[in-house]
């Protein structure tokens, strides 16, 4: 499993020529379907339009670069972030996670996913810098049901028992 935050800032390279055709600026996810929708790509040559790559068009996501077969896979990216259930990754970070009985589990700092399928597998949580240094961050499998508000996530009580050290 990889972390979605690690994708941000990676160069997007074309496998045909080795040319860098952009840089990963944002990731769009569909939490309801537990999947990565695509990557918004930044490039100084494009004017104001938002351009990106849908996840099925990505050849591979490596530690140091995102690979696509052809630069034509980068196209105008429709308003996916405005659709129900789909959000930009940056909008999800730093949300406090609570159980439905009011127990604070931590703050969402990253999302774990399968780089081959785009399936979201879980959340990485933090209890603060001191706790992260002493105990490490916690990982929680993706909840079956959850409520997402502007600054919080509410998950079932059973998720508290499924937290484990990273």
Q: Where are the domains of the chain?
A: 2-89, 93-165
Residue scoring higher pLDDT (70 or 50): 70
2-16, 43-57, 122-136, range with greatest mean pLDDT: 2-16
Average pLDDT over residues 84-101: 85
Confidence of residue 81 (pLDDT cuts 50, 70, 90): very low
Same topology, domains 2-89 and 93-165? Answer is yes
Question: Fold for domain 2-89?
Answer: SH3 type barrels. (2.30.30)
| Cα 104 to Cα 85: distance, rounded to the nearest angstrom | 23
Q: Flag the least confident range among 17-26, 69-78, 136-145.
A: 69-78
- The residue that leads in pLDDT, 144 or 6, is 6
CB of 111 closer than 8 Å to CB of 119: no
Nearest-5° Cα angle at 9, 141 to 20: 125
Q: Which two tokens stand for residue 49?
A: 């339009």
pLDDT band (50, 70, 90) for residue 135: confident
The superfamily in CATH containing domain 93-165 is PRC-barrel domain (2.30.30.240)
Q: What is the model's pLDDT at position 123?
A: 93
Alpha-carbon distance of 20 to 32, in angstroms, equals: 32
Return the pLDDT at 163: 78
Residue 83: pLDDT above 70? no
């Amino acid at each position: 499993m990889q972390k979605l935050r690690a994708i941000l800032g990676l160069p997007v390279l074309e496998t045909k020529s080795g040319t860098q055709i952009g840089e990963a600026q944002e990731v769009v996810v569909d939490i309801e379907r537990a999947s990565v929708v695509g990557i918004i790509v930044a490039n100084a040559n494009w004017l104001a339009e938002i351009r990106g790559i849908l996840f099925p068009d990505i050849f591979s996501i490596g530690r140091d670069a995102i690979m696509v077969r052809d630069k034509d896979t980068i196209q105008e990216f429709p308003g996916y972030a405005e659709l129900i259930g789909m959000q930009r990754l940056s909008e999800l970070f730093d949300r406090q996670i609570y159980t439905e009985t009011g127990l604070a589990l931590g703050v969402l700092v990253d999302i774990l996913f399968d780089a081959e399928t785009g399936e979201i597998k879980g959340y990485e949580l933090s209890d603060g810098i001191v706790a992260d240094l002493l105990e490490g961050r916690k990982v929680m499998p993706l909840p079956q049901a959850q409520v997402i508000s502007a600054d919080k996530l509410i998950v079932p009580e059973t998720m508290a028992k499924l937290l484990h050290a990273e």
